[in-house]
Amino acid sequence: MCGIIGYVGKDKCIPKIIHGLEALEYRGYDSAGISYFFKNKIKTIKAEGKIVNLKALLNFNEESYLGIGHTRWATHGKANKTNAHPHSVGKFTIVHNGIIENYSELKEKLIKEKYVFKSETDTEVACALFDFLYKKNKNILETLSEAIKILKGSYAFGIICNDDANTLYALRNTSPLIIATDETGNFIASDVPAILKFTNKYILLEDNEIAQITADKIVVYNNNLEIVKKNIKTFSESYEAATKNGYEHFMLKEINEQDKVYKNTIDYYFDGTIESLEKNFNFLNKFERIDIVACGSAYHTGLVGKCLIEKYANIPVNVEVASEYRYKNCFYNNKTLVILVSQSGETADTLAVLRKAKNDQIKTLAIVNVVGSSIAREADYVIYIKAGCEIAVATTKAYLAQLAIFSLITTYLGYKNGVIDSKELTTIFKDINLLPNLINKTIANYETYFKIADKIYKHKQIFFIGRGIDYAISMEASLKLKEISYINSVAYQAGELKHGTISLIDKNTPVIAIATDKYLLEKTISNIKEVKARGAFVILVSNTTFKDHFYDEFITIADVHPILQSIIIIIPLQLLAYKVAKNNGCNIDKPKNLAKSVTVE
Ligand code: F6R
């Protein structure tokens, strides 16, 4: 989603702001803009489309030492130059992430006060509100404090005012915002990668806090304008970790990191003994029912989690997408644990579910990648995956690390609940140790998947089928393919096809079938034969070998304990999706219309 960067200091601000915006490109955007003080006046330059368009309009040597920049992902109003940020009204110029929910009502009131609006955005309305309040109280901090009481919705603002050419102001509610310092000055940013080239030390602004930032001073106030003491945090990864490191795309780099990501995640919670699992996960024993709630790929890990926990731990699990769950009647009680899965920890719908559950006094567990993110901070329990900075919009390594966490949770609960005996536990532990090497070998086999991708990339639709956990993985494999290649793809429960969808299968329609669940294998094979008989081009992914040739292409994968199998299955399908997208010349790391962190509803 939108990105914010601001700088005030001894260095010229334009190069720093542009670097920050480029580092935030991965979040997704459709226009960009910058405002800065030049000879005590605010200058604003905006452009539709990519940051290169904006760069072409800028003088990087401009003597300016304070400015704000923004990449906009359109919500209110079209993606054009007028709606691009920054917006200026009266004395204020601002950039904004999030959504102002009461903007229509505020706009009507401000129009009555003779404000005229040029854009269709909620941001311009917020800017007019600041100006309106400031005209009355002539004090910027009081203006911002008063605005917090009026504005409804989610927001992170970077603010400058004509009357104070030395200060950058920031404000947040729900949408993330950090403040950082290097030896030359201070920054605001919506996300750590924006400032990582300059510093890895930062302060997290909390909801309803206001920051007043000059070249050599940062003061943070609460909503009553009392000074708040803030802790400085250190982001543990290097700038290199947020770069491509020789790979053609971030997605490819991140797929290749998955053996390490798996190991880091597992090693953090498991030292080879059941006692380590007991120490980290015993809080789970209190619950008799689990609701897993998330969006997109994180929802898909929930589907895998459900299959595993229900089968091996005998606990009922309900999985729902957050945008639905937040508005429905939830039949939870004090024996229910609501698990929120989120890479970013900032997804608006998932955060809303967390707050709803907390409000209903239901215990929550967050499985999150970004340390200190809103979901991580607000949940009762947190399990961090150790995926590191994920830049490609399409998640790969974070998804795999989430699967790793569900495999550990299931192993622990399954043993505790007597479904997994000591012998089976030993097998699982052995396979957990083998997995980094197996992940590595699966990735190393990429040429096999790439050759298959070369055969199918021109098709208009590609189907995925599977049963049980294989279906859960199909959902993710299908999403990966469609989001980066723009090829229509649907995942179906293999047994459900003949109730309608099979009519779409024509000669050579690619059908990717996943068949690893031994209990369901015969059934899945029958379904594969049904599509094959109708002319489908079948690509079979399996951990078993077959005498019969009921498929056209075969991807063989290592056979590991079913609790861990999904972690291996997804890898060839990530690489297949990658190659299909590459062959089609798609923008792999930044697919159209998508954003990395979906901080609006
Ligand atoms: C797809 C993808 C998205 C995210 C979803 C939730 O590749 O990345 O579907 O999984 O937007 O995001 P998080 O996990 O940050 O809550």
Whole-number Å distance, alpha carbon 398 to ligand 1 midpoint, is 9
**Cα 50 from chain centroid?**
21
- Residue 298 CA: which ligand 1 atom is closest? 10
Specify the pTM. Answer: 0.79
pLDDT value for 580: 98
Residues 463 and 374 sit within 8 Å (Cβ to Cβ):
no
Instruction: Choose the residue to mutate in 323, 344, 374, 489 for probing ligand 1, maximizing ligand atoms within 8 Å of C-beta.
Output: 344
Ligand 1, residues 295, 299, 475, 570: which to mutate, most atoms within 8 A of Cβ? 295
Beta strands in 315-455 (DSSP E): 317-321, 336-342, 363-368, 381-384
Evaluate whether 417 touches 287 at the Cβ level (below 8 Å): no
Answer whether residue 58 shows pLDDT above 90.
yes
pLDDT digits (tens, 9 = 90+) for 431-462: 999 999 999 999 999 999 999 999 999 999 99
The answer to whether residue 544 scores a pLDDT higher than 90 is yes
Ligand 1: distance of its center to the CA of 347 in Å? 8
Chain position carrying tokens 């060839």:
572
Cα-trace Rg, the chain: 25
Residue 67 scores a pLDDT above 80:
yes
Instruction: Give residue 296 CA to ligand 1 midpoint distance, Å.
Output: 5
Sign (positive/negative) of CA torsion 110, 112, 113, 117?
Answer: positive
Is residue 483 scored above 90 in pLDDT?
A: yes
Residue-averaged pLDDT of the chain: 94
Tell me if residue 596 is catalytic. Answer: yes
Annotated catalytic residue within 2, 161, 295, 389 = 2
Q: Are 218 and 7 in contact (CB under 8 A)?
A: no
Q: CB neighbours of 320 closer than 8 A, spacing ≥ 6? A: 291, 292, 293, 299, 328
Kind of pairing between the strands at 153-161 and 164-173 = antiparallel
* Cβ pair 175, 207 in contact under 8 A: no
How far apart, in whole angstroms, are the C-alpha atoms of residue 542 and residue 557?
Answer: 6
- Whole-angstrom CA distances from 229 to 81, 133, 187, 188 are 39, 27, 18, 17
Task: Kindly give the number of the ligand 1 atom that is closest to the alpha carbon of 396.
Answer: 7
| Each residue's pLDDT tens digit, 572-591 | 999 999 999 999 999 999 89
Q: Is 358 a catalytic residue?
A: no
What confidence tens digit (pLDDT) does each residue in 265-296 have? 999 999 999 999 999 999 999 999 999 999 99
Cα separation values, 21 from 35, 97, 395, 398, Å:
13, 13, 21, 23
Neighbours of 507 (CB within 10 A): 8
Distance from the CA of 306 to the center of ligand 1, in angstroms?
18
| Lowest pLDDT segment from 230-239, 329-338, 406-415, 532-541 | 230-239
Bridge partners of 448?
none
Identify the residues whose C-beta falls under 6 Å from ligand 1.
295-298, 342-344, 347, 350, 394-395, 479, 483, 597-598
Measured by CA distance, the residue closest to atom 3 of ligand 1 is 296
Nearest atom, ligand 1, residue 344 CA: 15
Q: How far apart, in whole angstroms, are the C-alpha atoms of residue 275 and residue 180?
A: 40
Stretch 71-97: mean pLDDT:
92
Helices (H), 341-396: 348-359, 374-378
What structural domains and CATH numbers belong to the chain?
A: 3-242 (3.60.20.10), 250-583 (3.40.50.10490)
Closest CA to 439 of 579, 575, 297: 575
Distance 80 CA to ligand 1 centre (A): 26
Whose CA is closest to 309, among 414, 390, 379? 414
- Of 400, 598, 600, the residue with max ligand 1 atoms within 8 A of its CB, to mutate for a pocket test, comes to 598
382 C-alpha to ligand 1 centroid (Å): 18
Residue 26: predicted pLDDT: 76
Question: What are the C-alpha distances in Å from 585 to residues 2, 89, 459, 591?
Answer: 25, 41, 14, 11
